[in-house]
Structure 1
Amino acid sequence: MYETISIDVDARGVATLMLDRPEKHNAMSAQMLAELTQAAGALGTDDTVRVVVLTGAGKSFCAGGDLDWMREQMAADPDTRAREAGKLAHMLQALNTMPKPLIGAVQGNAFGGGVGMASVCDVALGADHLKMGLTEVRLGIIPATIGPYVIARMGEGRARRVFFSGRLFDAPEAVELGLLARVVPCGDLAAAVEAEVSPYLSTAPGAVASAKALARSLGPRIDADTIDMTVQALKNRWETEEAAEGIGAFFDKRKAAWMV
């Protein structure tokens, strides 16, 4: 059914939603975005599912955007770019509003959209070797469509520490920033996730869904207008000379003009 992700549901109703492109460090393609959106809808309406664990196969959680997908965006017209950006935004919204607890198990690297996915988890746990970063500005673009979820998770003040510097940060700093609940040794990540999952198996599923919806409604507004605004912001940035230079330099394996 799925080619870029996998889903396994155990006898307790714990679903593991795994990004499953380990050879690509689980970089996001258009197909992966579509499959994740579909999976969020299916898991959210499955009465046998009590909790969802989001993780990545192999060495990385998610290395950001797939290179081939990025090349396609470079060659595309502005409206096509906007539609593709919208796919990422709507995938994150589907995970963010899924009426099931979403526990993130984050290892290896989580860049760009990978940070966005960690941000929509109700609880995200990180392995101690984890590296994260919002690296879009290095390419002359911005973390636009993931922005509402990152800001909702970190708060504006903490987000400003990393939102537009492009620098990488480690797992302990991710805890300080509010992205991760805690850090554990890589070998202990599965046990730590299980400790987060277990309490939900004693709760009323409908009450959990209602409480999650209430919490989301009391937080920063992320609605269709917000999503459209971020898509437009990214569309505008794609049209700049900086974006052409930064993305071109990335694919040419050279320094962009502004790098010293």
Structure 2
Amino acid sequence: MSPLPACQTLLLESRNGVLLIRLNRPESRNAMSLQMVAELRMVMAAVRDRRSVRALVLRGAGEHFCAGGDLKDMAGARAHGSAAYRELNRAFGALLEEAQQMPQVLICLLQGAVLGGGFGLACVSDIAIAEQSAQFGMPETSLGLLPAQIAPFVVQRIGLTQARRLTLTAARFDGAEAQRLGLVHFVEPDAQALQARLEQQLAQVLRCAPGANAATKALLLASVEQPRGPLLDQAASDFANAVMGEEGVEGTLAFVQKRPPAWAN
């Protein structure tokens, strides 16, 4: 198995089928530089087909998750005109697309600033766990900018009505409001409780077969866009393949024998 790519803006740690990815620019509240975007995409590409990696945990170093895009990168792109801005912006959209389609379960741990691009990353997670005091928001319009790449993912996560209100007012809100909106699944009072909730969720994820999880995630995402008839035809084929496949055989045998399946040991 090839090693993970070397990174300057990320800290990587693998344990028990889980890859912890820590955004590591605490001096800028983990603002998303072009380099960080590129490194995240490289790491995800490196582990996408690794069945041994069953979950990805994305969090920030220090007290913040991610304060959005790096304004220094934007200032540097100014000399190269609008094409440079398009490239910079679209690269982050590609990251969100790739993160959303990862076959592994993606868990985001949200503390401190969860703004702009950080907000977008939360929207493509499978499980989002926030600290009560976290500060969420999309401040782009207050800067004369657009939430260009995150907007479709925000709408898909919390709906058009709330997305319009939040983007057009650049509103800030805490973890409890994020849970009410459906952006996050769990809200915890402090960092210790946040970690305990993460461990609980990871234990549940690791009870599930990795191939079945990957196929189920793809089915759920496809259900948003594809016509129902063809989608159900494809789902029936996927189900038949699962029943006849290694995980299906092991899972049903384990059930009959009243023991945990191999992937849960």
Give the structure with higher Rg (CA).
Answer: 2
**1:200-215 correspondence to structure 2 within 5 Å:** 200-215=205-220
SS of structure 1 residue aligned to 2:187: strand
Deviation sequence 1:93-118 (CA, Å, 0-9, x none): 11110100001100011110000000
Deviation sequence 1:3-36 (CA, Å, 0-9, x none): 00122110x2011111111111100001000001
State the distance in 2 between where 1:68 and 1:181 align. Answer: 33
SS of structure 1 residue aligned to 2:169: coil
Q: CA deviation at 1:140?
A: 1.0
State TM-score, norm by structure 2. Answer: 0.80
**1:129-168 correspondence to structure 2 within 5 Å:** 129-168=133-172
Amino acid at match of 1:215: L
SS of structure 2 residue aligned to 1:203: coil
How many matched pairs? 220
Q: CA deviation at 1:161?
A: 2.5
1:68 aligns with 2:72: yes
Q: Is the contact between residue 123 and residue 180 of structure 1 (CA under 8 Å) also seen in structure 2?
A: yes
Higher relative contact order (CA 8 A, sep 6+): 1
Matched residues, percent identical?
A: 38
State the distance in 1 between where 2:142 and 2:185 align. Answer: 27
Residues 73, 167 of structure 1: alpha-carbon distance in 2 compared, 3 angstrom cutoff? farther
State the distance in 2 between where 1:58 and 1:67 align. Answer: 20
Residues 150, 220 of structure 1: alpha-carbon distance in 2 compared, 3 angstrom cutoff? farther
**In structure 2, what is the equivalent of residue 23 of structure 1?**
27
1:175 aligns with 2:179: yes
Of 221, 230, 254 in structure 2, the residue corresponding to residue 216 of structure 1 is 221
State the distance in 2 between where 1:88 and 1:27 align. Answer: 12
Q: Is the contact between residue 78 and residue 84 of structure 2 (CA under 8 Å) also seen in structure 1?
A: no
SS of structure 1 residue aligned to 2:167: coil
SS of structure 2 residue aligned to 1:126: strand
**In structure 2, what is the equivalent of residue 87 of structure 1?**
91
**In structure 1, what is the equivalent of residue 255 of structure 2?**
none
Q: Is the contact between residue 152 and residue 220 of structure 1 (CA under 8 Å) also seen in structure 2?
A: no
**In structure 2, what is the equivalent of residue 51 of structure 1?**
55
Of 4, 8, 18 in structure 2, the residue corresponding to residue 3 of structure 1 is 8
Amino acid at match of 2:11: S
Q: Is the contact between residue 159 and residue 177 of structure 1 (CA under 8 Å) also seen in structure 2?
A: no
Unaligned runs of 5+ in 1: 222-260
